[in-house]
Structure 1
Amino acid sequence: MSVERILDARLRDRVVSAEHAAALIQPGETVAMSGFTGSGYPKAVPMALARQIEQAHQQGQPFQIKLLTGASTAPELDGALAKADGIAMRMPFQSDPDARKRINDGMLDYIDIHLSHVAQHVWFGLYGQIDTAVIEVSAIREDGALVPSTSVGNNKTWLDLARKVIIEVNDWQPAGVDGMHDIYYGTALPPQRRPIPLVQGNDRIGETALRCDPDKIVAVVRTHGPDRNSPFTPIDATSEQIAGHLIAFLQHEVARGRLPANLLPLQSGVGNIPNAVLAGLAKSGLRGLSAFTEVIQDGMLELLKSGVLDYASCTGFALSPDANEEFKRNIDFYRRRIIMRTQEISNHPELVRRLGCIGMNGMIETDLYGNVNSTHVMGSRIMNGIGGSGDFARNGFLSTFLSPSTAKNGTISSIVPMVSHVDHTEHDVSIIVTEQGLADLRGLPPRARARAVIDHCAHPDFRDLLDDYFQRACRDSYGKHTPHLLPEALSWHQRWLDTGSMKP
């Protein structure tokens, strides 16, 4: 590893080992780290910190930190610190199995909030003082400006508010990413807010690098390591069916004149189903599409390369190893078509409403009336978190939620009488899609929504059971507006916990 990426002579003098940098973090600190969905997170300092925490615990000394990030990170960060029992509190999103287990065992406090709220809440001081920020960058310019790597997330806020800053300069990241970022410094807290001057999803309104007071930078660590690159999972038949239903619906909306021929800016969650939707769009005949989203994954790169997608605005990447090599190999092409923004812009509710985004997100379950649970298994065990889905569900032009109709080898129905946890209320959900079909809930009163969900989205193994529940609820419930049988409403979940199946 060379120092060629560190052009500021002042900061070259602060290059130290990861161990030295990690030793600057003290027990009980609130530490804010870069990273969004497995990209742009620090690779070396968290691992060194985890080792120091383990050593402290072996000597009988308490050592935990409060950890803030942009979203999920990787085993080298969340995983290492969770295994070392080094996290007292985690916010705002995670996907690590070790962290998840500790959260669900009640050993790690977890605050799951909308991603658009994170920076504002931290500026308001709701999580106390940020003691240390650990930020990965791809380079440091001569004037000290920090060129982000493959995510931006909340890095601007972390650098603004932290008392001390540790920078990891990762020369594995492509140097050509310089110029891809758009860091907007015009946000403010109420009542000083002013309109954000972004009218089209590809407008550039900020700077290409992050600012940081050099006096706050206490250490610079050189690294050479890849992002968490998840192998690409071949698209399965169920995902293709779900994608087919959604794309047919979008084409229908274009034909009806409710959507323009090039749709509206797309927001896509991460996973096999969103990748299937993106792959289907490539074959749909639709052109001139755009994306205003949080994460770019393999399918979106393909759409950009094929010319189906004109541009994509995001805050981070979630690429397979092959897609990442494609990105690095053709970085000049993608730099002209991808804009990476701060999380408070990529997820800004007013911008989502202004641009008219089409939200496409996954769910764990939905009930008959369109309430969606996207975070908790059986009501109490967190899976990952709400992420940005709420930002787009509440404010987007179309809010679609996608899922197979069953889970756990058919023992769980994703369509239930009442969800065991609510993340997105019936008021924020437009479209439900499973491999069975699509239910358009717009303009429908509750009982008509229930009929659409049962008839179009439920698996045949559960459809009659749902119909029976609904018919009896319409007859016997306390009120007829949103019929429920309270003693039975969550009985399906309890039956699964008791017997391993929702089927009677």
Structure 2
Amino acid sequence: MTSRITCPTLAARVTDAEQAATHIRPGMTVGMSGFTGAGYPKQVPQALATQIAAAHERGERFGIRMLTGASTAPELDGVLARTGGIDFRLPYQSDPELRERINRGEIDYMDIHLGHVAQFARSGFFGPIDVALIEVAAIRPDGALVPSTSVGNNATWLELADTVILEVNADQPAGLEGMHDIASCPAPPHRPPIPLTTPGQRIGEPYLRVDPSKVVAVVETHGPDRLTPFAAPDDASRRIAGHLVEFFRHEVARGRLPANLLPLQSGVGNIANAVLEGLREGGFEQLTAYTEVIQDAMLGMIRDGLITTASATALSLSPAGVADFVARIDHYRQRIVLRPQEISNHAELIRRLGCLALNGMVEADIYGNVNSTHVAGTRIINGIGGSGDFARNSFIACFMTPSTAKGGAVSTIVPMVSHVDHTEHDVSVVVTEQGLADLRGLSPRQRAHAIIKHCAHPDFRPQLQDYVDRAYLHSRGLHTPHLLPEALSWHQRFLDTGSMRV
């Protein structure tokens, strides 16, 4: 480990996780590293959870306000939620224990666009940041920090926090050094443009910076990121991918996209991986990516030269993907750039680059509004993540899902979504295994026709068409026909009977 901490000043502050955790006290706001299970602190949160549990046994209240980049892992989100140590959490989560406690009302959770977090923090919307707890891969002689497998909001937490705790993880590849590009956005007004015009361009430096006087503890750790591989694409995912690949071919033929498309943004999950594999099989070459997370499918395309450059804020790889990444890290370092999420998710850059956004959803309604976060309008799943950053600003925003869920009992195409994350104005394309609806240039009634015809499952198509027909007659036309007493009846039927079927 001594080779990972070569700054004498910070080497003198090496301590154990238990001692480091004592710097986090009840009621504090803590900015932590971590983005989709990558680069999160591994030991201090567990020591903190032990101290919180002991305080609760003494009858003392001990909870913190916890801010991260996105989701983390059981060793952070899970253990602190289970101990009752989280009072407030943002901006994205995926841990089952944390999710359950949020939905029981035990933890206040703020779902927020990932691209907004840094500016909101600098503006003071979350209050003072008391502590930053950040995993890094190494500390250089001058005190510069080699970032880990995710960047997220780490630069912001290090800038704003009163005190800093660093975990230096020797299990993170030393070859990560040089892969990052750390830049930030000046506060308004009179902000200059961000000088980035291609996904692989570098506009900052490869290191995180911190005032050494703020560092109160450095903890040496060993441990891999807790990354669970996504399931292999199923038949529905492959059919969704096929529809999208055919759509992109059509756009190229019409001259609306270049032969190598535009920079890809791909959400996480097996559908996103299936789409990337579909692009590979479809013969597309010389692709680029400007996204948030690099998963196995994208890594494989970078390895094989199908994607020439990929910009992201985190690596979210399976164990096999990690092994491949480490074995070819010199190759990947020339082709992957990891940035702060305020840059990877910045509206100006997404719009300038003309990204193609590929994101999953829970449901879409007949007019093109999309719910990507809630079940039956009330129960949060994970969060909006960066899908809104990209949907609002991309050249084409695609939302994907199988047409049914719960064994066919639930239609993912409904009369009215039970929760709105992306309005009809931000949704270009809706895709299910049934087909693809291109909503660009269509009125609400035309969108309803396209979505029902191309995306709804045949078992639910008559119900949806009946709803639209009766809504149009009842409202005597109007711009967006609805039967308000029935608009959410499908969801109520599911809650009452376990099925949306009539």
- TM-score, normalising length: structure 1: 0.99
Match of 2:2 in 1: 3
- Residue 479 of structure 1 deviates from its aligned partner by 4.9
Residues 85 and 21 of structure 1: CA distance in aligned 2, closer, same or farther (over 3 Å): same
| 1:233 has 2:231 as partner | yes
Identify the residue that residue 434 of structure 1 maps to in structure 2: 432
Residue in 1 aligned with 2:396?
398
Q: Which amino acid aligns with 2:33?
A: S
Aligned to 2:327: 329
Whole-angstrom distance in 1 between the partners of 2:397 and 2:305:
25
| One-letter amino acid matched to 1:210 | L
Q: CA RMSD in A?
A: 0.7
Aligned to 1:378: 376
Aligned ranges 1:59-208 → 2 under 5 Å: 59-185=58-184, 187-208=185-206
Find the aligned partners of 1:428 and 1:204 in 2 and give their Cα distance.
29
CA distance in 1, matches of 2:90, 2:74: 16
Aligned to 2:482, the other structure's residue is in SS state coil
Alignment partners' CA distance in 1, 2:300 and 2:325: 10
- 1:469 counterpart residue number: 467
1:43 aligns with 2:38: no
Q: Tell me whether 1:451 sits opposite 2:449 in the alignment.
A: yes
Indicate if the aligned counterparts of 2:276 and 2:297 stay in contact, CA closer than 8 A: yes
Q: Distance in 2 between matches of 1:231 and 1:287?
A: 26
Q: 1:43, CA displacement in angstroms?
A: 0.4
| Matching residue's letter, 2:61 | P
Specify every segment of 5 or more residues in structure 1 that has no aligned partner in the other structure, as ranges.
none
1:439 is paired with a residue of what secondary structure? strand
Q: Which residue of 1 aligns with 2:415?
A: 417
User: Secondary structure of the equivalent of 1:325?
Assistant: helix
Deviations 1:363-388 (A, max 9, x none): 00000000000011000000000000
Q: Is the 8 A contact 2:230 2:269 kept in 1?
A: no
Deviation at 1:305, TM superposition (A): 1.1
Aligned residues of 2:115 and 2:389 also touching (Cα < 8 A) = yes
Please name the residue that 1:295 is paired with: 293
Deviations 1:361-418 (A, max 9, x none): 0000000000000011000000000000000000000000000001111111000000
> How many angstroms does 1:29 deviate by?
0.2
Write the deviation string for residues 10-62 of structure 1: whole angstroms up to 9, x where unpaired: 11110000011001110000000001000000000111111110111011110
Report if aligned partners of 2:28, 2:65 keep a CA contact under 8 Å in 1.
Answer: yes
- Tell me the equivalent position of 1:486: 484
Give the drift of 1:480.
2.1
Task: Report the more deviating stretch, 432-441 or 233-242.
Answer: 233-242
The Cα offsets for residues 343-370 of structure 1, whole Å up to 9 and x where unpaired, read as 1000000100000000000000000000
Letter in 1 for 2:253: A
| Equivalent residue number for residue 320 of structure 1 | 318
1:414-464 CA-to-partner distances (Å, cap 9, x unmatched) read 000000000000000000000000000000000000000000000011011
Question: Counterpart of 1:469 in structure 2: which amino acid?
Answer: Y
In the alignment, structure 2 segments of 5+ residues that lack a partner are none
- How far did 1:192 drift? 3.6
Q: How many Å separate the matches in 1 of 2:476 and 2:489?
A: 18
Deviation, structure 1 residue 477: 2.2
Shift of 1:284: 1.0
* Identical counterparts, % of pairs: 65
Q: Which runs of 4+ in 1 moved over 6 A?
A: none
Q: Distance in 1 between matches of 2:235 and 2:318?
A: 20
Shift of 1:4: 1.3
Quote the offset at 1:231 in angstroms.
2.5
TM-score by length of 2: 0.99
- Once residues 277 and 316 of structure 2 are traced to their aligned partners in structure 1, the CA distance between those partners, rounded to angstroms, is 16
Cα drift, residue 307 of structure 1:
1.0
Contact 2:163 / 2:215 at 8 angstroms: preserved in 1?
yes
SS in 2 for 1:409: helix
Amino acid at match of 1:9: P
Q: Residues 184 and 86 (structure 1 numbering): CA distance in 2 closer, same or farther, change over 3 Å?
A: same
Cα deviation for residue 306 of structure 1 reads 1.4
AA aligned to 2:22 is A
- Taking the aligned partners of 1:350 and 1:391, their CA distance within structure 2 comes to 10
For 1:56 and 1:461, the matched residues in 2 are separated by 55
